[in-house]
């Protein structure tokens, strides 16, 4: 993953250099000085709210209906530095500390599941309702190419996130589990605590996530602005050897918030 990020970062730097090189007739030494000069780097602070979920691409047949979806306090805040190579093109690098979480209640049928009930671990196919709670606190490093269009800055690139806290847990209730297979022993699960089946797949979650990020910043008044962006995860939140949940669950979140130009 690190090799991919370095390669794409190098390509972005090269592409961003082309407009400046085409427009300027200065010497190579002057151009190099401009590339690494600090006087035209803009620092910004931001605070936002993440909206989205950790979900498969497309609703699988085993999930019959989403009865409830709740947002958690998905706060995102951080700082960024933008290097302008000319009035139009630039490069933005940031560091954010954020949470991407959700809570769902879904009706499922023949859903691959592993639960703990009465101290006993049972695996098989579950039909009934499943509550899932996801919490992911992380540091995120976005690297984006930027393009200015009047007061609006468009941007796109890649991000990498390191999770400092991860939780993927919940319970199965109001249904039954066929142990080890569709025709296995039928175990009924009730509604209340002690009757339902608990599960916790937190230890099977990845520490690293990466994906694509696109967004826009609109400077509405002097140093103040608003922003909107979309972050689409390329890898699933669980490790590649985790197969209890059949579908690959990816983090797909949009962010809305405010920015402040520090310098």
Find out whether 44 and 261 touch, Cβ atoms under 8 Å. yes
Q: Under a CB-based contact definition with an 8 Å cutoff, are residues 244 and 201 in contact?
A: yes
Using only the alpha carbons of the chain, give its radius of gyration: 23
Most distant pair of Cα atoms in the chain: their distance: 78
Q: How far apart are CA 76 and CA 97, in angstroms?
A: 6
Task: Extract the tokens encoding 48.
Answer: 């936002």
d(CA 129, CA 218): 43
pLDDT at 73: 86
**pLDDT confidence of residue 38:** 56
Closest CA to 37 of 22, 45, 26, 49: 26
Amino acid 238: pLDDT: 96
Q: 238: burial class by Cβ within 10 Å (0-12, 13-18, 19+)?
A: buried
* Strand pairing category for 208-221 and 224-233: antiparallel
Domains in the chain, ordered, with CATH? 2-261 (2.40.160)
Distance from first CA to last CA of the chain, Å, rounded? 33
Residue-averaged pLDDT of the chain = 87
Q: Per-block average pLDDT, block size 10, for the chain (263 residues)? A: 49 50 49 54 94 88 92 92 91 97 95 90 95 97 93 95 97 94 88 92 96 94 93 95 90 96 87
Helix-helix angle 2-23:28-36, to 10 degrees: 130
Q: Which tens digits make up the pLDDT trace of 149-181?
A: 888 999 999 999 999 999 999 999 999 999 988
């Amino acid at each position: 993953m690190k090799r991919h990020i370095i390669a794409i970062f190098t390509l972005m730097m090269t592409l961003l250099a082309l407009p400046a090189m085409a427009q300027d007739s200065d010497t190579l030494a002057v151009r190099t000085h401009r590339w690494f000069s600090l006087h035209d780097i803009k620092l910004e602070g931001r605070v936002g709210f993440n909206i989205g979920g950790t979900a498969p691409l497309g609703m699988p047949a085993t999930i019959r209906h989403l009865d409830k979806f709740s947002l958690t306090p998905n706060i995102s805040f951080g700082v960024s530095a933008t290097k302008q190579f000319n009035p139009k093109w630039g490069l933005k690098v940031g560091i954010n500390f954020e949470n991407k979480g959700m809570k769902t209640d879904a009706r499922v049928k023949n859903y691959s599941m592993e639960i703990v009930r009465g101290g006993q671990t049972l695996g098989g196919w579950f039909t009934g309702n499943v509550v899932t709670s996801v919490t992911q606190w992380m540091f995120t490093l976005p690297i984006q190419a930027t393009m200015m269009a009047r007061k609006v800055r468009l941007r796109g690139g890649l991000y990498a996130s390191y999770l400092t806290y991860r939780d993927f847990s919940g319970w199965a209730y109001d249904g039954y589990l066929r142990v080890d297979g569709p025709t296995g022993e039928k175990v009924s699960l009730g509604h209340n605590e002690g009757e339902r089946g608990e599960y916790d797949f937190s230890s099977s979650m990845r520490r690293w996530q990466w994906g694509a990020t696109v967004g826009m910043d609109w400077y509405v008044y002097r140093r103040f602005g608003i922003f909107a962006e979309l972050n689409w995860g390329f890898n699933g939140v669980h490790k590649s050897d985790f197969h209890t949940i059949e579908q690959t669950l990816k983090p797909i979140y949009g962010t809305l918030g405010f920015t402040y130009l520090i310098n």
